[in-house]
Structure formats: structure tokens, C-alpha cells
Amino acid sequence: MFCMEIKNELESIGKVLNSGHREEQLWFDLDTTTPLTKENYISLEKKFEAKKKFVKVINAGSALDKESGKEVQRIWLVAFDNKKDLDKWTVDYSERMTRDHRFIGEQCDWFHIQEDIVGQGLPLFHPKGMIIKNKLIELMREVNGKLGCEEVGTPHIAKATLWKMSGHYKHYRDKMFIWEQEGEEWGIKAMNCPLHIQIYRFKPRSYKDLPIRYAEFAMDYRKEQSGELHGISRTWAFTQDDHHFIVTPEQIQEEVIKIIKASQKVYALFGFEYKIKLATKPDNAMGSQEFWDKAEKGLKEALKEVKVEYEIEEGDGSFYGPKIDVYVKDNMARWWQLTTIQTDFFMPENFKMSYVDTEGKHQRPVMVHFAVLGSLERFMSVIIESSKGRLPLWLSPEQLRVLPINDDQKEYAQNLVNDLRASGIRAAIDSEGTLNKRIRNAELNKVALIAVVGKREVENETVSVRTHKGIQMNIQKTKTGIKGKTIDYPKQDFKEKLLLADMERSEF
């Protein structure tokens, strides 16, 4: 790579203060507040082409210098030693940009990662992105309710003593953020199970209390290698739909079966094909062989009961127990590991967890760890890339955008938006600029439905609605019902149809 040559050429525009890369893309911070122009891009590219080296500028814009804090111009580009590689990259990049969740997230104002002054692997979720995230949490709260879960909350940090007792300090420390304060070690949580255990241990438990089912939408932190980080699919900070069921040994199979069936319903909602793998005892396992044999047997029996095929992944379990890993396939035929279900005899033993049985004796419970969506951020990246950002109506941050053709229809359009918002529909109005530009902006923003209002629509109380699939519908107040390709609704029926599709998580 000829980074130094690129830097020297850029010095003619402004002093290069900093540089770096993200995957194949290079970036340079220039000490200038003057925005770079298309002429700057072309000039740079032609200079290298004359040297039989090939540079393509991807983007440029203002940024903050991490040392001085002053505004600079950041330029992003790629560089290749031959034109063939550049042409191939350009074709691949164009297709990737139609699906890349990082590009779509920034284009739609859903989220971004501020590597220079916040840090890599630390996504910032914008209001619209939080709608997606919260809708997934809302979905999982419904699933949790049917499973009988109780939601808990735990802090983001704990003393290293806790992580030493759980085994994470010894077996997972390289992925944890550990520091010393006032002579004592602390750690930001990479897992929630040791904290949920403390809630269980707060008071004596009886066999009558079990199963106890804890759930938490918890922000966890894992120190992945910088080369492994990728958008919001692999991060340092992420949110889990984390669960810990504390059960008697006899209850393992029944509870795991319920979890698998609940997970299957979630996959069906998103149209995901899935496969299952059973990961067995790893080399760094803790606990006795007897514990591991019991745990693996319980998972195998549950899988047999729900009649699903599975593969064995030898030695790929967690250090404290075997696990069921569920992989889903997206529309690009890529497999993603989402759901994990683990049985754990070790931590209950290590933390001296107990319950009183029917004979009044103290017994050791078993923990079932699982997450259905896994990392909510990773799940978001999967559904964004699988759908090219065209999220289903119920999940879309903006479900309807109303576009009046001119100011004469603005009041009617605003009243429609206000009525729908009052009913819980995420609707907005856009009346600035040409109609074609507003339609294009709505499409780029991945708005689920676009409604156009003109003079005729106001007079007839009609709205022309465009869906993700380009389907045009006329929504109007008539008594004639369906006429050919035009679907006629009274305005109230349109609202009810929207609300029903949102509530049932179905297509409009």
C-alpha cells in the first residue's frame, strides 16, 4: 500500500494531522475547514492513475481532531495497485452499500459509530434507531411473559471478587475491562449471570419457588479484538435479552423445550430458516465430568422431544456448561448465531446456591442461561442487511410519511398525521421541496409507507399509498368497496388497518 504517497499528495490541500483505516478503507484528517470538492477528488485520483496506481475517494466531511478538538476535514478512500482490483471493489461495494447495515444506519439516521472521539465498537443509537431496538425489546417482553419470566436489573460494574467466584476472571479476563480503584479490582460486566445469582441468594428458596425465571435487557461489555469489530454486529458494548432460569434437575428438560419452542416462534415471525448445534465440553471446562454428563444429557433429551435435527460441535461449549446454539439464515444465505441455551451445574455449586426440597434438605439447583435474540445490535444488523433496511411495518421507525403535493393540501395532510399519531402510528409529514425529491428521500430513509395527498385526494378524502414493494393503493371514503386494482377504504378503516397490521406484526 502506498499510504505515504497519498499523505504527501493530500498535504497540498491541508496538513495531514491523523490517519487510520476501517477494513479496506483509509482515512486522513486534513487541517482545513474548507470542504473538499469533487474537483479535489478527481485531481487526486488522476495523479495516482498517471503513476499506474489507483485511488478512489469514497467520502469526505468534517470531523474533530482527537488531540486538539478542532474541526478538520476527513477524507475516506481506497487504494489499489491495479485497475482490475479497483473495478472489482467498486462493483462489490455498490452491491454491499444496498445492504451494509453501517451505511443504511447512517443514511437513515438510526445509529453511527464515532471512532475518533467515542471509540470503535461503541455504537451511538439515534432516536429512530432506539425505536427499532425498543420494538425488539417489546417483542421479547411478550415472549418473556408467556414463559413466566420476571424482569430484573443489575449494575454495569462489580468487584473483581464476583468475577473470580464465577470463573470469568480466570477464563474470560482477556475479554473483560478490569481496573483498580482505591486498592481494589473492579470489572465491567461481560455477563449477567453472577449478578442474577446474587438476587436468587438474597433469601432462602424452597422447591415450591422453582423454577425461578429471571430476564434482563442488559448492556454488557466485551473487549473484542479491533480486527473483529464490525458495525453493530460485533461491538464492545451490546444489549442482550439475557435470561437465567433456576430449576431443579427434574425441570431442565421441560424448561429447555419451552425455550426452544418460544425461539422457533420468533424465527417464524422474521421468516428465518434455522439450524441447531450442540456444543460440548471444552478444554478449559470447570466442574466435574458428572456435571457435564448430566448437562449434556438434559439438552439432548430436550432436542429429541421437540424433534429437531442437530449437529454436535465437539469442545465448543462454555467453560461452565454445554450449550445449544441456534443459527439463522438470512436472505443472503449467510448463517448467524443468535440463540444460545446453556445448562450450568458449575455456578450453582461455586456460589453455594440452594433450595429446600420436599424432605427439608438443601439441594443444589441448576441454571439455564439463554438469549433468544442474543445481542440486539447484532440481530438488528442481520434484519437490516437481510431486508436492505426495508423493515416490516411494526418494526419500522417511521411507518408512514404523508406528502402533500402543495401547500393547499398541507392542512389535510397534517390532520391525517395528527390523527394517526394519536392512535400510536409513527407518522410524519414532509412538505418541503419537490414531490419527486420528497418521495426519493422517503425511499432512502426506508419509510414503510408513503402517502401522497393532492387536490383530488382532499376533495374525495382519498390518499394514494405506496408500500415498500411499490404497490400503489387509493385509500378513499366511498361505499363502493374494491374496484379493480384500486382498494377503497373509508379513512377510519385505513387507520384501523394500519393499527391492526402494527399490533399483529403483519404486512399492510
Are the CB atoms for 320 and 197 separated by under 8 Å? no
pTM above 0.75, yes or no: yes
CATH number at 451 reads: 3.40.50.800
59 occurs within a structural domain: yes
354/217 same-domain check: yes
111 occurs within a structural domain: no
Read off the pLDDT of residues 372-404 as tens digits, 9 standing for 90 and up. Answer: 999 999 999 999 998 899 999 999 999 999 999
User: Residue 394 gets which letter from DSSP?
Assistant: T
* The three-state (H, E, C) secondary structure of 27-95, written as one string: EEEECCCCCCCHHHHHHHHHHHHCCCCEEEEEEEEEEECCCCCCEEEEEEEEEECCHHHHHHHHHHHHH
Are the CB atoms for 409 and 458 separated by under 8 Å? yes
Are the CB atoms for 76 and 57 separated by under 8 Å? yes
374 class by beta-carbon count within 10 Å (0-12 exposed, 13-18 middle, 19+ buried): buried
Residue of 232, 195, 233, 186 whose CA lies nearest to 214: 195
62/11 same-domain check: yes
346 occurs within a structural domain: yes
174 occurs within a structural domain: no
Distance of alpha carbon 138 from its chain centroid, rounded? Answer: 14
> What integer is the mean pLDDT of 310-331?
83
470/340 same-domain check: no
Output the CA torsion 331→225→118→29 (10° steps): -90
Confidence of residue 485 (pLDDT cuts 50, 70, 90): very low
413/442 same-domain check: yes
Q: Give 182 or 488, the one with higher predicted confidence.
A: 182
List the alpha helices (DSSP H) in 193-274: 193-200, 252-270
Grid cell at residue 185 = 479490582
Residue of 462, 464, 314 whose CA lies nearest to 400: 464
CA 55, 57, 58, 61 torsion-angle sign: positive
Size (the chain), residues: 508
17 occurs within a structural domain: yes
Confidence of residue 487 (pLDDT cuts 50, 70, 90): very low
Read off the pLDDT of residues 18-74 as tens digits, 9 standing for 90 and up. Answer: 888 776 788 888 888 778 888 888 888 888 888 888 888 888 888 877 777 788 888
Residue of 437, 367, 425, 435 whose CA lies nearest to 399: 425
How high is the pLDDT of residue 390?
92
57 occurs within a structural domain: yes
How high is the pLDDT of residue 20?
82
Q: Whole-angstrom Cα distance, residue 244 to residue 174?
A: 24
Task: Map grid coordinates 499510504 to a residue.
Answer: 3
List the alpha helices (DSSP H) in 351-422: 376-387, 410-422
Grid cell at residue 273 = 430458516
How high is the pLDDT of residue 437?
93
349/211 same-domain check: yes
234/361 same-domain check: yes
From 149-153, 185-189, 272-276, 352-356, the region with the lowest mean pLDDT: 272-276
Q: What does the mean pLDDT of the chain come to?
A: 87
Output the CA torsion 307→382→140→371 (10° steps): 60
CATH number at 318 reads: 3.30.930.10
Return the number of other C-beta atoms located less than 10 Å from residue 407's C-beta: 8
327/415 same-domain check: no
- pLDDT above 70 (res 419): yes
381/423 same-domain check: no
> To 5 degrees, how large is the angle CA 332–CA 334–CA 338?
125
> What integer is the mean pLDDT of 98-117?
90
CATH number at 78 reads: 3.30.980.10
Q: Where is the domain boundary, 97, 114, 146?
A: 97
- pLDDT above 80 (res 467): no
How high is the pLDDT of residue 484?
27
Q: Give 302 or 186, the one with higher predicted confidence.
A: 186
Q: Where is the domain boundary, 327, 352, 387?
A: 387
How high is the pLDDT of residue 491?
64
Q: Whole-angstrom Cα distance, residue 172 to residue 30?
A: 40
Are the CB atoms for 340 and 327 separated by under 8 Å? no
426/321 same-domain check: no
Type of residue found at 85: D
Q: Where is the domain boundary, 366, 387, 408?
A: 387
> What integer is the mean pLDDT of 469-486?
41
- pLDDT above 60 (res 480): no
Q: Which domain holds residue 452?
A: 400-504
- pLDDT above 80 (res 462): no
147/88 same-domain check: no
Task: Give the whole-number percent of the chain exceeding pLDDT 70.
Answer: 94
Confidence of residue 331 (pLDDT cuts 50, 70, 90): low
State the catalytic residues. Answer: 193, 222, 240, 242, 244, 323, 369
Type of residue found at 132: I
291 occurs within a structural domain: yes
217/347 same-domain check: yes
Are the CB atoms for 236 and 189 separated by under 8 Å? no
305/366 same-domain check: yes
Tally of domains within the chain? 3
Q: Whole-angstrom Cα distance, residue 499 to residue 491?
A: 13
> What integer is the mean pLDDT of 498-506?
83
310 occurs within a structural domain: yes
How high is the pLDDT of residue 456?
81
